[in-house]
Copies of this chain bind each other. A is one copy, B any other.
Amino acid sequence: MSRPLDGIRVLDLTQVLFGPFCTMLLSNLGAEVIKIERPEGGDMARGNGPFLDGISSYFLSLNHDKKSITMNLASEQGKELLLKLTEVSDVVIQSFVPGTMDRLGLGYETVKKRNPRIIYVCGSGFGQYGPYARKPAFDVIIQAMGGVMSITGEPGRPPVRPGVSYGDIVAGMFMCIATLAAVQERNRSGTGQMVDISMLDCQVTVLENAFVRYLNTGEIPRPLGTRHPVIAPFQAFPTKDGYIAVAMRGGVKDQWPLFCAVIGRLEIMDDPRFKTGWLRTQNYDALEPILNEAIKDKTTAEWIQELEQADIPCGPVNTIPQVAADPQVQARNMFAEIEHPKAGKLRVVNTPFKFSRNECRVEKASPELGEHTEEILTGLLGMTVEEVGRLREQQAI
């Protein structure tokens, strides 16, 4: 079965999470992704635990279905190999500290001369220009500097980092979107271009609501536990045996009166302080103890049954094992079992992309370091086995 990005070849010079998450999505969608790795050790993520028979589970979760070629970009032969590969590729993605690729003689201006159709994607912590451009960054730095940690956590307590590496992951997703947009533009113009994605820019973008509130009303967003800043109720409540998340429709089909009935608090239904989601947010200090008291004595399962009967959106706060066993997640085929030559059978997350005419799914385990070096050099670049052997002697691969 065909996939949406069949025929698109991506050279991936990134490591760890930001870039590899982006190229994982492109690979899910059918692009051929060639990982270009340092001969010594390769992608830094290969060193991240926990390990399965010596293989990094962190690396295994992100690099399935990609190919790996080793290349020493400090050597002249290595540089020339990369340039040759750019001539037969559509996209180059790199996430070195800005300036590095230029210094290596592999910047956009050089690559463009070899292939004017190339889309040259630069991911970095802070972007290709600006006072912090040359600063290195990792996820936690960006989640800290971008503001999300200051509004995640319990009220009045220390900042918390969201449990997902969203500094890397949303940046990887924006990079994927920008890459596909540039491919679409190239279909019209026939020409590639450079794309500049900054992790910090991406954090600001996903914090849109917090910034718009602050910039236009002066209100400083703060941590709210599980609550939403402008809607209520829209949070998790403690139950007898866990937590239940509840949200409700507002507007013309306002569910607030129904919710009051289900939790047995008819007396607050018409209270003018609680008439709309925005009023309930503003008067939350008065509302919170009433709701907590109303909800605490039944189990999560009991509440789900009662709220679902009333068609009020709700759900349990699940642990990771509970999500893994969830019948909906199973029905959507969200885990794939794949075979790795050393780590054996392993389970990874499948793809969220479901199309009616194309089928996307994880198929092959993440490559060993340099697993496809020979295949790519002889197949794609038409080299002889002897030439490959010479490159190996010269430590170019």
Contacts and interface: CB of A to CB of B under 8 A. Distances in A.
A181 B220 CA distance: 38
Contacts of A212: 57-58, 60-61, 346-349
A68 B207 CA distance: 24
- Interface centre among A5, A57, A197, A204, by most chain B C-beta atoms within 10 angstroms, is A204
- Interface centre among A8, A47, A154, A208, by most chain B C-beta atoms within 10 angstroms, is A208
A278 to B, nearest CB: 4
Contact of A158 (B225, B348, B352, B354): B225
A134 B144 CA distance: 38
A358 to B, nearest CB: 6
B41 A252 contact: yes
Given A25-B177, A201-B354, 5 more contacts: A47-B276, A130-B327, A135-B313, A145-B245, A220-B320
Interface string A129-163: 11110011111111111111111111001111111
A198 interface: yes
Q: Please give me the 5 A-B residue pairs with the lowest Cβ-Cβ distance, nearest first.
A: A130-B331, A151-B163, A144-B245, A49-B278, A162-B162
Contact of A356 (B108, B138, B278): B108
A353 B174 contact: yes
Nearest to A323: B147
Contacts of A29: 177-178, 181
A44 interface: yes
Interface string A3-44: 111111000000000000100010001100000000011001
